Structure 1
Amino acid sequence: MKKRVGLILLLFSVFLVPANPNPVVAQDGKDREYYETRGDIVWEVPTDKKVIALTFDDGPDPTYTPQIAELLKQYHARATFFVVGSRVNSFPEVARLLANEQHELANHTYTHPDMRRISPGKLAQEVAKTQETIYEVTGAKPQLFRPPGGYYSESIVNIAKRAGALVIMWSWHQDTRDWSDPGVKKIVNKVLKNARNGDIVLFHDYGGNRKQTVQALKEILPELQSRGYQFVTVSELMNHYGTKKVGQGN
């Protein structure tokens, strides 16, 4: 009986432990510090300027992306959208809307595959196809790549480099986990309580009902603006406020 109870508790512990929000690919034994000091991956940009980069993953979405774009316009905010190539192909008008409003479109693969299972060759094809799709729709070549799930390795870095892109993650203290529908207040509090100069904040504009994200932005944008923050794209954050320029060292 004791063995059975122990087994049940063990199983509960396995299923209740959340996925690591800050994954490190263990195959090569290299951690964040290795990539960050080399300038191969960026999580945030240390700066004394009151600037912050809002990023949105997995879109574009014909319902929620335009709502987010409208809110950003109200606060003179530019953001970076890490788009999925197949969705750009399905909703080109939404991608063009973002480009026309001077938001940055960046590469988030073509089909949003599981990065732990995809082969390097297949990933390279996904990245290249997304680069081409975004360029065909908007006329701008993406300079940034964010791997789905936040998984990274030297192989992923090199694939991005060959496509002319730099790998961008997000500030670990600014993962809103909005995809899990945690509640508007939790999303708002996550951003506002942790806001620092040079942050890269992670949101999603696709992946189910993103009403909570939209509602949270209605509180986050005016509050951060009242604190003196300027909302910039990731490339602007790096090129104008950081030491590494996008497109250099890639």
Structure 2
Amino acid sequence: MFKKRTVLALVIALSAVSSPLQAKASPYPAAQMKDRSYYEERGDIVWEVPTEEKYMALTFDDGPDPQQTLKIMEVLKQYEAKATFFLVGDRVERYPEVVRQELQEGHEIANHSFRHPSFQGLPGNVMEDELIKTQDAIYKATGQKPVLFRPPGGYYNEKIIHLSKEHHLQMVLWSWHQDTNDWRSPGVSRIANKVLNNARNGDIILMHDFVHNSNQTTEALKIILPELKKRGYSFVTISELLSHKVAPKNHIKVSH
């Protein structure tokens, strides 16, 4: 009996020591336990937009780039497509003229952090600095501040959701069935087929306008855009897509 009590006391003591360390290692554990519907229903995060009309939103991360972004915009212009560009702040500072051209051609610009770090494990003040510096860089380049934010890699937790709201930014991710993985340069046909084979109303398509030594995204767009236009789709900015959101239907019980 003495031995059992001693072992039990040791276990309790070790638990008391280890618990604070576990809490410190995972400061937002609750965020990992809540599913997508929790954040979607609250409007905290947008993955796609339910709409009855044939609208889609093309999004491009990691730019601007003075070569790839301009080539992508040429294709978009050819097919009368508007897009949303999630910009990296330090690249905005290097290529402000590209950002201004995006706006002039009717595209939407959005925040994608300043140096594109992984937000996983970042302290809150560093996350906030990434948001603020990008907002400031875009404002300096264009006189406008974005209203949308996409975290690098799509990583989120309770802290970054809170910071986004605090800075009046709507967090936007992408349709899970429309991640083209174009940043891996998987081949033009793979990128195009990913979009074409999964096309649905309200899709938010994830692409990139800065991929090292690759023009596959541009070439894939030359296949995607004419084909989806034939199917009746229009390509709009995220903000416009949100304006076409269909409210959930309330099931009203009628008594007789």
TM range (shorter): 0.7 to 0.9
Aligned to 1:137: 141
CA distance in 2, matches of 1:148, 1:190: 21
Q: Aligned pair 1:214/2:221, yes or no?
A: no
Residue 242 of structure 2 aligns with an amino acid whose one-letter code is M
Q: Which range moves more in the overlay, 167-176 or 113-122? A: 113-122
Within the candidate set 173, 179, 200, 1:175 is matched to 179
Q: Aligned pair 1:165/2:135, yes or no?
A: no
Deviation at 1:117, TM superposition (A): 2.9
CA distance in 2, matches of 1:30, 1:230: 33
Aligned to 1:201: 205
Q: Any stretches of 5+ residues in structure 1 without a counterpart?
A: 1-24, 245-250
Aligned to 1:22: none
Q: Aligned pair 1:79/2:93, yes or no?
A: no
1:39-61 CA-to-partner distances (Å, cap 9, x unmatched) read: 10000001110000000000001
Q: Aligned pair 1:27/2:29, yes or no?
A: yes
CA distance in 2, matches of 1:56, 1:169: 11
CA distance in 2, matches of 1:122, 1:241: 33
Aligned to 1:44: 48
CA distance in 2, matches of 1:169, 1:135: 22
Deviation at 1:75, TM superposition (A): 0.9
CA distance in 2, matches of 1:50, 1:213: 22
Aligned to 1:109: 113
1:142-192 CA-to-partner distances (Å, cap 9, x unmatched) read: 010000011111111111111110100000000000001111111010000
Q: Secondary structure at the match of 2:90?
A: helix
Q: Any stretches of 5+ residues in structure 2 without a counterpart?
A: 1-26, 249-256
Deviation at 1:133, TM superposition (A): 1.2
Q: Secondary structure at the match of 2:122?
A: coil
For the 8 Å contact 1:104–1:233, the answer to whether it is kept is yes
Q: Mark the CA change 1:242 to 1:130 in structure 2 (over 3 Å): closer, same or farther.
A: farther
Within the candidate set 89, 92, 100, 2:96 is matched to 92
Looking at CA atoms only, which structure, 1 or 2, has the larger radius of gyration?
Answer: 2
Residue 217 of structure 1 aligns with an amino acid whose one-letter code is L
User: If the length of structure 1 is used for normalisation, what is the TM-score?
Assistant: 0.85
Q: Mark the CA change 1:240 to 1:46 in structure 2 (over 3 Å): closer, same or farther.
A: closer
Aligned to 2:152: 148
**Percent of paired sites with the same residue:** 57
1:192-239 CA-to-partner distances (Å, cap 9, x unmatched) read: 000000000000011312311111000001011111101000010002
For the 8 Å contact 1:49–1:241, the answer to whether it is kept is no
Size of the alignment, in residue pairs?
Answer: 220
For the 8 Å contact 1:204–1:210, the answer to whether it is kept is no
Deviation at 1:27, TM superposition (A): 2.1
Q: Which range moves more in the overlay, 114-123 or 196-205? A: 114-123
Q: Secondary structure at the match of 1:81?
A: strand
For the 8 Å contact 2:28–2:158, the answer to whether it is kept is no
CA distance in 1, matches of 2:166, 2:214: 33
For the 8 Å contact 1:65–1:205, the answer to whether it is kept is yes
Aligned to 1:70: 74
For the 8 Å contact 1:107–1:131, the answer to whether it is kept is yes
Q: Secondary structure at the match of 2:226?
A: helix
Residue 146 of structure 1 aligns with an amino acid whose one-letter code is R
